[in-house]
Amino acid sequence: MNIWTYPSPWGAVTIQSREKEIVHVYLPGRKIPQGLTIFEDDVLKEAGRQLHDYLNHRRQKFNLPLAPEGSDFMLSVWKLLQDIPYGDMTTYKEIAEALNRPKAFRAVGMANARNPLAIFIPCHRVIGSDGSLTGFGGGLSMKKGLLALEKEGVSKQKLGTWQNTEQTN
């Protein structure tokens, strides 16, 4: 497995790949396992480029080979997270309802907390039913920052100053 670290306004974001897939994102302050090879392979280069574009208002969606590992329930939650539009937010309760499990909002919260691909699978877009910001692996200041970044990106898009460099593969 390879890792490479990219700068963000909140600190280093380390991305891990296995073969040709992204398997983990370590947000600032998170411990990186020992024994990983520091090497920027092609998939890590692309992930870094897309992360850079996202952080600079030039990308709203990621187009990467993601390979999160988790239970079937977690995978279903993470799939729904990828459908939350850039600049929007939803609640744990709304995700539970979308899964036809309206009482499973706490389990949705746990799946969110265990999301191994934060940012690429945008768990930062999920808030409490009362509108409060809840936990995030990179800390609440990073969550606030990512939401503000997206809000600014939406504003730029409305003003016609959006610089979309997204590519479809």
Tell me the CB-side half-sphere exposure of residue 67, using CA atoms within 13 A. 12
Following DSSP, what letter does each residue of 143-160 receive, concatenated? HHHHHHHHHHHHHHHHHT
Q: Which residues contact 100 (CB under 8 A, 6 or more apart)?
A: none
When pLDDT is cut at 50, 70 and 90, the band that residue 72 belongs to is: very high
Q: Could you tell me the pTM of the whole model?
A: 0.89
* 81/134 Cα distance (integer angstroms): 15
Structure tokens, 26: 């370590």
**pLDDT, tens digit, for every residue of 86-105?**
999 999 999 999 999 999 99
Task: Quote the pLDDT of residue 169.
Answer: 41
CA-closest candidate to residue 139, choices 7, 6, 9? 9
- CB 6, CB 45: distance < 8 Å: no
Confidence of residue 11 (pLDDT cuts 50, 70, 90): very high
pLDDT for the residue 107: 96
Tell me the percentage of the chain whose pLDDT exceeds 70.
92
Structure tokens at 27: 């947000």
C-alpha dist (Å) from residue 39 to 7, 50, 60, 63, 108: 16, 18, 26, 21, 34
Catalytic residues: 123
Which helix (H) or strand (E) is 23 found in, with range? strand 21-26
Q: What is the mean pLDDT of the chain?
A: 90
Q: What is the pLDDT of residues 119-141, one digit of tens each?
A: 999 999 999 989 888 888 888 99
Q: Residue 40 CA to chain centroid, in angstroms? A: 20
